[in-house]
Amino acid sequence: MQSADLQLDWLRAFVAVVDAGSLTAAAPHVHRSQSALSMQLKKLEDAIGRPVLTRGPRHLELTVTGIELLGPARRMLELHTEALAILHGPEIAGRINLGVPDDYAASYLTPVLRSFATRHAGVEITLVCEQSTSLIPKVTRGELDLALISRDRPQRGTLLFREPLVWVGAAQHEAWRRNPLPVAIYESGSRARRDALAALTAQRRTHRVVYNSASLAGQLAAVESGLAVAALTRCSVPPGLQILGAKHELPALPSMEVAVLRSKASQRMPAVDAMHEQMLRTLRKAGD
């Protein structure tokens, strides 16, 4: 190693890029431009004398040195956070009841929880994974403090971003060639179900619902077995399935408005305030 000094800003930039998957995605989290973030990484690599990240086919990938550094870097940042908490006030504690649909959990909630845990290790989180049709009334009743939801109507919660809906199928089965079109669909009352069926009706595509489920895993099983095609959020499509479109004679689908919804009962709860702020900071897209 060429230098014994590893500045916290360099390590913070490194961890942020690893967690976000790219310089572009990481920049807002550390309140720096992409070019400034790139410069921080270069200074870190110059100090170490070896690269910590390489550009892969889809995103940045850790080198062997990067893998070795990641754990100690996280611990150093956690200790820094603890030191600031000691100097500037007590650590936030408490419990949060948080809801998220299955299809958003891995792609969107994971970076939120990772960043939150680094800053607020004393908060206990109870996670409920259900579809938005179930989560929304639970937030309204105060059974959940916060939920990441697909909006069922305009102005519900605080808009974070828009998630495309796409048709998916298994290439080896070509269920999209059948007439009527067999469809696996979300539960009654869901916005995704309503939009998908409306698009097929508007196209005058003959179809029949062969599988109803609020479970993402169940819909994926129906598609993978060749039973049907499905309309899913793009973030939930696994690599083995094919995204379908106009060349498969399927209509375009609208995007889902993804929002964070907070219960009235959770107002003035510091732990929930912190989680709400973390969700906005991590997930909100410019222009929405």
Tens of each residue's pLDDT in the chain, 288 residues? 455 688 999 999 999 888 888 888 888 777 788 888 899 999 999 999 999 999 765 678 899 999 999 999 999 988 887 777 666 555 788 999 999 999 999 889 988 998 888 778 789 999 999 999 999 999 999 999 999 999 998 889 999 999 999 999 999 999 999 999 999 998 888 899 999 999 999 999 999 999 988 889 999 999 999 999 999 999 999 999 999 999 999 999 999 999 999 999 999 899 999 999 999 989 986 334
For residues 57 and 108, membership in a common domain is answered with no
DSSP string spanning 114-149?
HHHHHH-TTEEEEEEE--HHHHHHHHHTTS-SEEEE
Distances 151 to 39, 137, 166, 205, 269 between C-alpha atoms, Å: 39, 12, 17, 26, 24
> Would 178 be classed as within a structural domain?
yes
Among residues 58, 88, 118, the one where a domain terminates is 88
Its pTM stands at 0.69
For residues 135 and 273, membership in a common domain is answered with yes
Q: 157: closest CA among 274, 236, 257, 79? A: 257
Asked if residue 227 lies in contact with residue 211, where contact means CB atoms within 8 angstroms, the answer is yes
For residues 141 and 268, membership in a common domain is answered with yes
CATH number (domain holding residue 72): 1.10.10.10
For residues 172 and 242, membership in a common domain is answered with yes
- Residue-range definition of the domain harbouring residue 202: 163-255
For residues 19 and 78, membership in a common domain is answered with yes
For residues 177 and 245, membership in a common domain is answered with yes
**The total number of structural domains that make up the chain:** 3
> Would 116 be classed as within a structural domain?
yes
> Would 199 be classed as within a structural domain?
yes
Coil, helix or strand at residue 265: helix
For residues 22 and 52, membership in a common domain is answered with yes
Local structure of residue 108 (DSSP, 8 states):
I
For residues 128 and 266, membership in a common domain is answered with yes
SS3 content of the chain, % helix, strand, coil (to 5): 45, 20, 30
Strands 242-244 and 158-169, bridge-based pairing: antiparallel
For residues 207 and 169, membership in a common domain is answered with yes
For residues 167 and 211, membership in a common domain is answered with yes
Residue 220: its H or E element: helix 216-224
Q: 214: closest CA among 197, 190, 236, 233? A: 190
